[in-house]
Amino acid sequence: MINAALIMNLWQFPLMACALLLSTSPSTQAQTQNSFKPGQGWPDSNGVHINAHGGGILLYDNIYYWFGEHKIEGDAGNRAQVGVHCYSSSDLYNWKDEGIVLHVSDDANSEIVKDCIIERPKVIYNGTTGIFVMWFHLEFKGKGYNTARSGVAISDRATGPYQYLGSTRSNPRIWAENAPEPDNKNQPPPNTYVRDHANGQMSRDMALFVDDDGTAYHIYSSEDNRTLQIAQLTDDYTKHNGRYVRSLVNGSNEAPAIFKHNRKYYLITSGCTMWSPNAARSFVADNIMGEWKSLGNPCRGTDQQNKTTFESQGTYILPVSGKPGACIFMADRWQPKNPIDGSYIWLPIQWEGDKPVLKWLDEWSLDFFER
Ligand code: GAL
């Protein structure tokens, strides 16, 4: 049987020492909630605003687990000072604080030393190994956004603690299936795809997706954010397996969020304007490895809402358990001056024919999907 220890040996990285659990400051007990209020404060079961930005959700054993970036006040909150925060819920409205499940390290030699950048953590469960696998965008401390690597951590339990395995650029020395070795690779103009062939492709904003056959994919902004790459993972989900494609080449897509509906794959992405919101884009494909076809801006609101994706940037698309076809678009309304204040925009995916669309709702509940 494959277990966490074996996977760590395979990675040949030392175990990360567990840091102290973060103590949050609980305020009054929160009221039970029965609706989503996009953009408003969202108290957890201790009455504290949920702190899981750039997040994603895993459904395991009828419980939802929300993993996201723990942010703090002030500019330093744009970098990882604490780690990855997890919450659990059985109804999607009320979230219990499960604490920090991957801690930044105090060891200056650690890749995930405090003040590095850990963004957009996503967790998937591997039914064969029984291991929860977390991937995230990692930037080494003090290097801005130049590192462009993926970090991987694993746990035997959804709520961690997760043990850091190490980080990787994507698929070093392997050409993409749809972009074989170019004849003119030594000729200008410089091409990041060719430049990064030896050391591995860049990966920044990212999503994970497990298909119905159990194959897992890593979808990430690569090539200096100009091109998305879609890479298959190994059977244990902890590495790339060498199969990948370049998608939406030179389309400058970030914040990829993916879901499957009626056997088709849908992507909602953003453009590249850092913390400032921009217009979302949507795409459809018959095969996850492409070709992806544009469906335009999915937002159906005022001009200002459409230009800014309701002042937010996507992070994940959540299929609702027990409601076939029901999916929730999850996004972040970033507050880079005081990142802990960032709020969450959750809106139901609606359909205009075969196009997924998003409309603003001040308040809504899962009954929306019964209409
Ligand atoms: C955004 C990206 C965020 C974060 C930010 C930094 O475009 O989606 O995850 O990296 O840039 O400016």
CA–CA gap between residue 5 and residue 37 (Å, rounded): 42
CA–CA gap between residue 168 and residue 222 (Å, rounded): 13
How many domains are there within the chain?
1
CA–CA gap between residue 328 and residue 369 (Å, rounded): 10
247 within a domain of the structure (yes/no): no
DSSP state of 299: B
156 within a domain of the structure (yes/no): yes
In testing the pocket of ligand 1, which one of 139, 203, 204, 270 has its CB within 8 Å of the most ligand atoms?
Answer: 204
CA–CA gap between residue 331 and residue 310 (Å, rounded): 9
Give the pLDDT score at 15: 36
CA of 21 to the centre of ligand 1 (A): 27
pLDDT tens figures, 27-81: 445 689 999 999 999 999 999 999 999 999 999 999 999 999 999 999 999 999 9
Which of 124, 115, 116, 114 is CA-nearest to residue 152? Answer: 124
Q: Whose CA is nearest to atom 5 of ligand 1?
A: 274
98 within a domain of the structure (yes/no): yes
DSSP state of 47: S
Give the pLDDT score at 272: 98
pTM, rounded to two decimals: 0.93
Residue 276 in contact with ligand 1 by CB distance below 6 A: no
> How many of the other CB atoms lie within 10 Å of CB of 211?
12
282 within a domain of the structure (yes/no): no
CA of 254 to the centre of ligand 1 (A): 8
Q: Assess contact for 105 and 112: CB atoms under 8 A.
A: yes
CA–CA gap between residue 113 and residue 94 (Å, rounded): 32
CA of 51 to the centre of ligand 1 (A): 17
From first to last of its 371 residues, the chain has per-residue pLDDT tens of 445 555 555 454 433 333 333 334 444 456 899 999 999 999 999 999 999 999 999 999 999 999 999 999 999 999 999 999 999 999 999 999 999 999 999 999 999 999 999 999 999 999 999 999 999 999 999 999 999 999 999 999 999 999 999 999 999 999 999 988 777 656 555 589 999 999 999 999 999 999 999 999 999 999 999 999 999 999 999 999 999 999 999 999 999 999 999 999 999 999 999 999 999 999 999 999 999 999 999 999 999 999 999 999 999 999 999 999 999 999 999 999 999 999 999 999 999 999 999 999 999 999 999 97
CA–CA gap between residue 226 and residue 311 (Å, rounded): 22
**CA torsion angle 193 196 198 201 (round to 10):** -90
Q: Whose CA is nearest to atom 4 of ligand 1?
A: 274
CA–CA gap between residue 275 and residue 4 (Å, rounded): 35
Give the pLDDT score at 78: 98
For residue 262, the cross-strand partners are: none
CATH number, domain containing residue 97: 2.115.10.20
Q: Assess contact for 35 and 93: CB atoms under 8 A.
A: yes
Q: Whose CA is nearest to atom 7 of ligand 1?
A: 274
In testing the pocket of ligand 1, which one of 53, 273, 274 has its CB within 8 Å of the most ligand atoms?
Answer: 274
54 within a domain of the structure (yes/no): yes
CA of 12 to the centre of ligand 1 (A): 30
Strands 149-155 and 131-139: antiparallel
CA–CA gap between residue 347 and residue 355 (Å, rounded): 15
Residue 139 in contact with ligand 1 by CB distance below 6 A: no
Cα 361 off chain centre by: 24
Residue 69 in contact with ligand 1 by CB distance below 6 A: no
291 within a domain of the structure (yes/no): no
173 within a domain of the structure (yes/no): no
Tokens of 223: 């090539």
List the domain range (segments joined by +) for residue 117: 1-8+50-168
Which of 220, 261, 214 is CA-nearest to residue 236? Answer: 214
Residue 101 in contact with ligand 1 by CB distance below 6 A: no
84 within a domain of the structure (yes/no): yes
Q: Is 303 helix (H, G, I), strand (E, B) or coil?
A: helix
From its phi and psi, is residue 199 left (phi > 0), alpha (psi between -120 and 50) or beta? alpha
Which of 116, 119, 89 is CA-nearest to residue 16? Answer: 116
DSSP H or E segment with residue 35: none
Tokens of 76: 């330093």
Contacts of 168 (CB under 8 A, 6+ apart): 149, 150, 152, 200, 239, 240
For residue 118, the cross-strand partners are: 138
In testing the pocket of ligand 1, which one of 313, 334, 335 has its CB within 8 Å of the most ligand atoms?
Answer: 313
CA of 334 to the centre of ligand 1 (A): 9
